[in-house]
Amino acid sequence: MTQSLPRNRNYRILWSGMFLSEMAGEIAYIAFPLLVLAHGGSAAAVSGVAAVLAGARTLASLPAGALADRVDRKRVMVATQAVRTVAMLSVAVAVLLGDCPLWLILLVAVVEGAAAGIFVPAENAALPQVVPESMLPQALARNAARPFAALLIGPALAGLLFGLHEVLPFTLNTSALAVSFVALAALHLPRRADVPTAGTKSAAAAAPGRGGFGPLLRMRLIRATMAWIIGVNLAFHTLVVLVLIVSGEDNVAPGQMGLMMTCFGAGGLVGALIADRLHAAALSPGALVIGSTWTFAAVAFSMAYASRGVPLGILLGVAAMAMPVANTTVITCQLSAVPDELRGRLSGLVGLGSELAATVGPVTAGVLFTSTGDGALSILGSAALLVVVAVGSTLSPTLRRLAPVRSVDRATADALPTTDIGG
């Protein structure tokens, strides 16, 4: 009998460990700039710390994916959390002693970003090991709530605790990572299937140092969904940054801007809650992805003409609701189509695409606002990007026919030429 997710001990541990990891990341993202500014650091120093955090995570994505396919995933997760705990503890101790130089912050930012980048592919690839295939959409929907919950809790705690004492957010960060380490140490991952016999196509893909990311990129389903992921993430990050820029130009009060981001996080949480119900309603995966993308584009267009402040934030929250629905659908189909020995690399590839889109998005926002000189026009520009993605998704036969690949279907697909998989 299949265990429900609340009764699945290993899923609870995996979910909790990743939530604490994401919350620690959100705390660090706010606490590091606050610490630099509190000690007279320049805007360039603040930007440098943020860039190092994001850059280290991005650079780690692909090698981390390959690592998650070649070694024990639990060991990867436990080791990275241990490294992150020690690194953040060093900052907490330095702050407590009254001497935390910029070089130490940058060094720890590199370690934090890289270790977090290594942790994520191992955690993502481990999920199908602890959750039956039939419950994967439900598990992914619950997982989609984690980053939004971390976004709601982490930055608020970081700001509040920093105001009380500089060391407190770093103490909380270290504690969260330490608890995550202890929890993951108690995780039991079922033994992974043996690597296929030498000479088979799957064995070549799985063997260390062979295959690489080629087998994934030759799958039409992976290529189509990766293009969708990059396009939607680019437009989404462009839109969020434009909302902040436009609000600042229109002198929206800081409190209202905070409420806008709260709406964003709350919308994502609601979207994660309804994603599971939509999957249970047996709606076509292709219809969910394409419909969510068009919904996102329509909401983005309406944001160009919305009143600044909370009304704009509410629309941002509605846009955020569409993302978990589409994301859980896409990831379910990707995981079901890819064998276990390639799932770490899949996560690394998806992570790289998402991180690059998150990096290019703010730059795109700046270009749109600078070139138009008008808030409404710049938001319409980001909406136009979403329309391009929505049209491309609608015209894509692979996305229209998107559906999870069952075990028997995957076995049949493995017998076909690689270029035909996921077509």
Could you tell me if 343 and 125 are in contact, meaning their C-beta atoms sit under 8 angstroms apart? Answer: yes
Whether residue 44 is found in the same domain as residue 152:
yes
- Structural domain contains residue 415: yes
CATH number at residue 268: 1.20.1250.20
Note down pLDDT in tens along the chain; length 423 residues: 456 777 889 999 999 999 999 899 888 888 888 888 888 777 677 767 877 887 888 888 889 988 988 889 999 999 999 999 999 999 999 999 988 898 999 999 999 989 998 998 998 889 888 888 888 888 888 888 888 888 778 877 888 888 889 999 999 999 999 999 999 999 998 776 543 433 434 433 444 444 578 888 889 999 999 999 999 988 888 888 788 778 777 777 766 776 777 788 888 888 888 877 776 666 788 888 999 899 989 999 998 888 887 888 888 888 888 888 888 889 888 888 888 888 889 988 988 888 888 778 878 888 888 888 887 898 898 899 999 999 999 999 999 988 876 544 444 444 433 333 333
Whether residue 119 is found in the same domain as residue 224:
no
- Structural domain contains residue 202: no
What pLDDT is attached to residue 258? 66
Whether residue 53 is found in the same domain as residue 18:
yes
pTM, 2 dp? 0.75
- Structural domain contains residue 206: no
- Domain count across the chain: 2
Whether residue 244 is found in the same domain as residue 132:
no
- Structural domain contains residue 333: yes
Whether residue 101 is found in the same domain as residue 222:
no
What pLDDT is attached to residue 82? 96
Whether residue 81 is found in the same domain as residue 121:
yes
What pLDDT is attached to residue 198? 37
Q: Which residues of 39-63 are buried (b: 16+ CB within 10 A; e: fewer)?
A: eebeeebbebbbebbbbbbbbbbbe
Whether residue 142 is found in the same domain as residue 227:
no
Q: What is the residue range of 129's domain?
A: 1-188
Query: For residue 168, which of 98, 225, 104, 95 has the smallest C-alpha distance?
Result: 95
Whether residue 240 is found in the same domain as residue 316:
yes
What pLDDT is attached to residue 408? 41
Residue with tokens 């389903």: 221
What pLDDT is attached to residue 396? 93
What pLDDT is attached to residue 405? 64
What pLDDT is attached to residue 192? 62
Could you tell me if 244 and 313 are in contact, meaning their C-beta atoms sit under 8 angstroms apart? Answer: no
Whether residue 157 is found in the same domain as residue 256:
no
Whether residue 46 is found in the same domain as residue 124:
yes
- Structural domain contains residue 305: yes
Contacts of 285 (CB under 8 A, 6+ apart): 329, 332, 333, 402, 403, 404
Query: For residue 91, which of 169, 181, 206 has the smallest C-alpha distance?
Result: 169
Whether residue 267 is found in the same domain as residue 413:
yes
